[in-house]
Structure 1
């Protein structure tokens, strides 16, 4: 859900969620940076954590490639920061990435990016043989802007495209993806063994028999309506056979009926609004087909959702492929005892699913969600409370604006055994919150159970106030936490900032109370294990931490004088007993030992100065992570120098200098030295002056190694005295590494 109001200042967190603004709350949705860790294997999980999925995902950065690996990156608004694992592979025309299968497959779904406004394609080679049909790609569904959400930048860079390979492959076979005429960034490939199309159940009413066009050339809306009307009188089944069916209008009056297809790869409905209704008598079953929309931007007054409103009590949604819509399921009205399971929800411009009040006994389980433009899974208790609802065994990857899972109010809610990965910008992996957005709002009540969840690379730097958000956040945004919040058996890995955050995000010092954390493994966190910023109390037991970046605890309630936060040691804790001592500053990632990522570029995004620059070619362009931008000093004024503040003294062992690797940049030699300082005023020589050749044939890149005996330095300077290609110093990237 989107960012809401609050008082600027330290301790203020902008929530993220989705608001309904239509009077009837149907048909209208207002939705609703940190260190780059080295790539690691995906989070280990058994069937007990996350969804059991019908496909196997392969990360492009872990596969052989002739392209360029990008990332890792945690800075909002970059391609790598929205990628799975915070890394991907950029392919120029003719470059490729090759995957070796680990299990049988006959289909692939690829998460990719092409530059804004462009289309492209990937040639698919199976065991060295090029398939006749390429994988068509587009930027049509990417590059979403939400200027009404505070802190949002252009986001939603990736998209998903799928292809049946037309043959059965086995473990050990190879699939190579090769960029055709335009640049393509490949993030992850899902390989799947797709079964044959299912057959119609006995007695089912086929939409084709009612006149639907399975080629997708003609609008089939009326045929679907006629089939539903015929089937629901007897509680029968509407059959969607293999094919593509275009629906130009939404369906309503859907109740006491099953709508079933031959499988999500076979029966495809092309519609940006499938079901839109304020109420239903229930017993609706939607299963085993795809609904793929044409939503290219987020218009919050439009009900551009798979389901908008109510399916009624006792309904279910299963085996669905839902893609290119605003929201997968935006649920208002009576949806008691709804079960949503075994679905894929991809590339939505807002939420994946939101229980928007009046939801009791709903179970959402074993779903896969990727690339949401808001909360992937949310409950929001507006008008009436959600109660006794459960999110369990779901796998969530890459929500690019808000949280993986967000609980905004509600009574006796359970969030258990979910896997959440790679949140970005305005979100945590899991948020338990009293942010109301609108009234009447029903705050958290009863017992909120958060158990057995795994959070990987979750949490972000809130862009509104440069305020970090934890992997798991408990937020008394608009009112104190009075419910009993029980957080147990949590695994948090590679959090770019904190593991647990206890906060009143509105900046008014509401208390977080009645909170216990029992049983948690924290493996590498950029700043602290506990980030406490508001009055309240927590008891923490059996929490073990390794690789803490700055200190164990940040305990600084805001606003000043609002009260204290009491952390009670329940026993069994280890690895996080130190406390950050300066409440006037935020701890910076990686300030402690061990470093959260010994392989990161220490210079990226750091403060940079120069003796001079020309036009727009300012010194910050040399540390922005974009090889196409560059710093250029004043002309005909050697010597020139550029200096980057690494933030703290670092034992730099390798400096990489780059120029843009494009044909227009001819080879040149720059004469330069490296200098270092701990105080920014007195510099010593790290590498003596010599000529360095920048050649497009080798990527216009120069690497300068520094011996192990080199003293640690905070301020790293490149001192340039000559350039054969231009009468000025030039650098597109200045990178510094520990190894």
Structure 2
């Protein structure tokens, strides 16, 4: 498969002038060397919402799935299951277990005949009383043809079925409320495939903190439909010059190009209240060096197809030393975070990245000591989380404690070269095509130059078929492609559950010289438990395989296995 990673412009770091004490203190408390951390109490992100899977609700509608066949709606649904409301009066309902004033729905409706998308409503009831309808669209779902895909239905192979919509209810529903999603007569889509509902108690819009100045006092006007890009750039420059951060009150700010950050703090009233709204393929935050912070807002793009030449990421560029990105919701952009060298010590946390057309997060080039943690990444069009040593070695970075769901193409997490990087304490589920749950690979970028650690991750229903290669990719995939992997790859305390194909795949062109596997649990695999087709050597201890359809081990390519204690099933 030909896959071109998005290449953001390289911008020289600028000197920090008038650095904000607040930003520096925040960075000092949340950043620093990444390295490999002690085991977390739980795996995956601690998220503020409760998830209700449609197939577990009460419904009179037909089920979708389970099915992992590419180009079927079930293959892109959480748990590979959903329900479809087709008839007027059809419903799915849930009993809320927590108080709720905000909803986020993952759904699919049919596309329009011209591929430009159609809009529809879906009715919502609480204990039989009608609430505000949810507004749905197919504009940001449904792509066609071959990679990187089009909006033309005549190209066939339709997929990217699901999108998400959110709404504040204007009231709080107590625990125990029966919340119903129903197709009423005024809900005009031919069908509504419901994957899941997330419900939470969203906080009220926050007020302006000290040491900030309001954007509205510096000539920026939200909610007027006018382009705010130039006004925001001017306001940021003025705030920085005065030693202040820039505060974005609740509202929607339209942006058509980069909003530039160089040693400044940008903060909104909350993910549910302050929205930067992109236009066309553009509109996002661009780091130009210095220590910056971005917090408490949403970036909602207007991308409808992937465009590597013309599109912009939600947040990209050089973030200097010790920057912070926190509590940011990103949707409908080409990429979520595209972080360039020489960024060092960035901490990105508590993110929601949904429905991007390419990567969720990419640490690109010689990014160092950067952590992405406690974030939810779902429905990406390329790797959900990637470290790409392109033009320089990504070093001592970590993807830690994240929840990754349904990357529609490529891997849940991938490390392409570099030194001292780690993928730890994540949960990764339901990869769709051309994908592993976690890949350690020399397919892209520079060779590995130090230890790579994959520890304490849970992978469920991962691995997938790669149609361009006629290849069955494993849940864990160590892939020596363009160069040997000569430095240690440590796979420790990982659980692989219900893998679509092999639980662990080691391949292919070159050698994997020093693989170290300890306490790997493989429970149910559609192919082998462990499949190795490479030169090299590895040690295995505490590695157990149960329920592998084809057998516990397939060994080829001259690879030498050294068995320690505690292995079974292979």
**Could you tell me the TM-score, scaled by structure 2's length?**
0.89
1:164 to 165, 168, 183: 168
Within the alignment, does 1:450 sit opposite 2:440 as a pair?
Answer: no
Please say if residues 531 and 553 of structure 2, whose CA atoms lie closer than 8 Å, have aligned partners that are also in contact. yes
Please show how residues 623-702 of structure 1 align to structure 2 within 5 Å: none
Q: Work out the CA distance in 1 between the residues paired with 2:215 and 2:443.
A: 44
Please show how residues 277-292 of structure 1 align to structure 2 within 5 Å: 277=286, 280-292=288-300
Q: Work out the CA distance in 2 between the residues paired with 1:323 and 1:20.
A: 17
Within the alignment, does 1:555 sit opposite 2:555 as a pair?
Answer: yes
Q: CA deviation at 1:68?
A: 1.0
Distance 1:330 1:417, change over 3 A: same
Within the alignment, does 1:493 sit opposite 2:497 as a pair?
Answer: yes
Within the alignment, does 1:19 sit opposite 2:5 as a pair?
Answer: yes
Match of 1:531 in 2: 531
Match of 2:273 in 1: 266
Please show how residues 123-134 of structure 1 align to structure 2 within 5 Å: 123-131=123-131, 133-134=132-133
Q: Work out the CA distance in 1 between the residues paired with 2:158 and 2:167.
A: 28
Please show how residues 599-614 of structure 1 align to structure 2 within 5 Å: none
Distance 1:264 1:23, change over 3 A: closer
Please say if residues 257 and 284 of structure 2, whose CA atoms lie closer than 8 Å, have aligned partners that are also in contact. no
Please say if residues 18 and 374 of structure 1, whose CA atoms lie closer than 8 Å, have aligned partners that are also in contact. no
Within the alignment, does 1:477 sit opposite 2:485 as a pair?
Answer: no
Q: Work out the CA distance in 2 between the residues paired with 1:445 and 1:145.
A: 39
Q: Work out the CA distance in 2 between the residues paired with 1:101 and 1:18.
A: 43
Q: CA deviation at 1:300?
A: 0.8
Q: CA deviation at 1:25?
A: 9.4
Q: CA deviation at 1:153?
A: 5.1
Q: CA deviation at 1:134?
A: 0.8
Please say if residues 205 and 227 of structure 1, whose CA atoms lie closer than 8 Å, have aligned partners that are also in contact. no
2:228 to 208, 217, 220: 220
2:398 to 385, 390, 401: 390
Q: Work out the CA distance in 1 between the residues paired with 2:242 and 2:538.
A: 54
Distance 1:381 1:162, change over 3 A: same
Could you tell which deviates more after superposition, 348-357 or 168-177? 168-177
Match of 2:141 in 1: 142
Please say if residues 274 and 307 of structure 1, whose CA atoms lie closer than 8 Å, have aligned partners that are also in contact. no
Please say if residues 370 and 398 of structure 1, whose CA atoms lie closer than 8 Å, have aligned partners that are also in contact. yes
Q: Work out the CA distance in 2 between the residues paired with 1:502 and 1:333.
A: 30
Q: CA deviation at 1:243?
A: 1.1
Distance 1:148 1:83, change over 3 A: closer
Q: Work out the CA distance in 2 between the residues paired with 1:166 and 1:196.
A: 10
2:310 to 302, 310, 317: 302
2:44 to 28, 47, 50: 50
Please say if residues 155 and 401 of structure 1, whose CA atoms lie closer than 8 Å, have aligned partners that are also in contact. no
Within the alignment, does 1:110 sit opposite 2:105 as a pair?
Answer: yes
Match of 2:433 in 1: 425
Please say if residues 145 and 297 of structure 1, whose CA atoms lie closer than 8 Å, have aligned partners that are also in contact. no
Q: CA deviation at 1:275?
A: 4.2
Please show how residues 368-407 of structure 1 align to structure 2 within 5 Å: 368-407=376-415
Match of 2:237 in 1: 229
Please say if residues 389 and 446 of structure 2, whose CA atoms lie closer than 8 Å, have aligned partners that are also in contact. yes
Distance 1:297 1:286, change over 3 A: same
Please show how residues 513-592 of structure 1 align to structure 2 within 5 Å: 513-557=513-557, 564-574=558-568, 576-577=569-570
Please say if residues 49 and 453 of structure 1, whose CA atoms lie closer than 8 Å, have aligned partners that are also in contact. yes
The CA deviation string for residues 171-192 of structure 1, in whole angstroms up to 9 with x for no partner, is 2211111122221100011111
**Could you tell me the TM-score, scaled by structure 1's length?**
0.69
The CA deviation string for residues 301-325 of structure 1, in whole angstroms up to 9 with x for no partner, is 0232112322222211100011110
Match of 1:648 in 2: none
Q: CA deviation at 1:568?
A: 2.0
Q: Work out the CA distance in 1 between the residues paired with 2:475 and 2:143.
A: 24
What SS does the corresponding residue of 1:516 show, helix, strand or coil? strand
The CA deviation string for residues 33-86 of structure 1, in whole angstroms up to 9 with x for no partner, is xxxxxxxxxxxx985200110111111011111111111111111110011000
Q: Which structure has the bigger radius of gyration?
A: 1
Q: CA deviation at 1:280?
A: 2.5
Please say if residues 283 and 314 of structure 2, whose CA atoms lie closer than 8 Å, have aligned partners that are also in contact. yes
Q: CA deviation at 1:383?
A: 0.8
Please say if residues 385 and 410 of structure 1, whose CA atoms lie closer than 8 Å, have aligned partners that are also in contact. yes
Give unpaired runs (5+ residues) of structure 2: 13-38, 113-117, 150-155
Q: Work out the CA distance in 2 between the residues paired with 1:311 and 1:282.
A: 6
Please say if residues 396 and 404 of structure 1, whose CA atoms lie closer than 8 Å, have aligned partners that are also in contact. yes
Match of 2:336 in 1: 328
Please say if residues 233 and 256 of structure 1, whose CA atoms lie closer than 8 Å, have aligned partners that are also in contact. no
Match of 2:26 in 1: none
Q: CA deviation at 1:155?
A: 3.0
Within the alignment, does 1:199 sit opposite 2:207 as a pair?
Answer: yes
Match of 2:153 in 1: none
Match of 1:366 in 2: 374
Distance 1:378 1:249, change over 3 A: same
What SS does the corresponding residue of 2:510 show, helix, strand or coil? coil
Q: Work out the CA distance in 2 between the residues paired with 1:240 and 1:337.
A: 25
Q: Work out the CA distance in 2 between the residues paired with 1:498 and 1:312.
A: 41
1:414 to 419, 422, 437: 422
Please say if residues 77 and 195 of structure 2, whose CA atoms lie closer than 8 Å, have aligned partners that are also in contact. yes
Match of 1:341 in 2: 349
Please say if residues 120 and 184 of structure 1, whose CA atoms lie closer than 8 Å, have aligned partners that are also in contact. no
Q: Work out the CA distance in 1 between the residues paired with 2:357 and 2:230.
A: 28
Q: Work out the CA distance in 2 between the residues paired with 1:280 and 1:228.
A: 13
Q: CA deviation at 1:467?
A: 1.5
Distance 1:396 1:451, change over 3 A: same
- The higher-RCO structure (CA 8 Å, 6+ apart) is 2
Distance 1:488 1:169, change over 3 A: same
Aligned length: 526
The CA deviation string for residues 306-345 of structure 1, in whole angstroms up to 9 with x for no partner, is 1232222221110001111000111223211111101100
Please say if residues 444 and 482 of structure 1, whose CA atoms lie closer than 8 Å, have aligned partners that are also in contact. yes
Distance 1:153 1:536, change over 3 A: farther
Match of 2:121 in 1: 121
Give unpaired runs (5+ residues) of structure 1: 5-16, 27-44, 558-563, 578-739
Please show how residues 501-516 of structure 1 align to structure 2 within 5 Å: 501-504=505-508, 509-516=509-516
Could you tell which deviates more after superposition, 182-191 or 330-339? 330-339
Q: Work out the CA distance in 1 between the residues paired with 2:206 and 2:78.
A: 32
The CA deviation string for residues 82-132 of structure 1, in whole angstroms up to 9 with x for no partner, is 11000111111421110111222111101110112233221010111111x
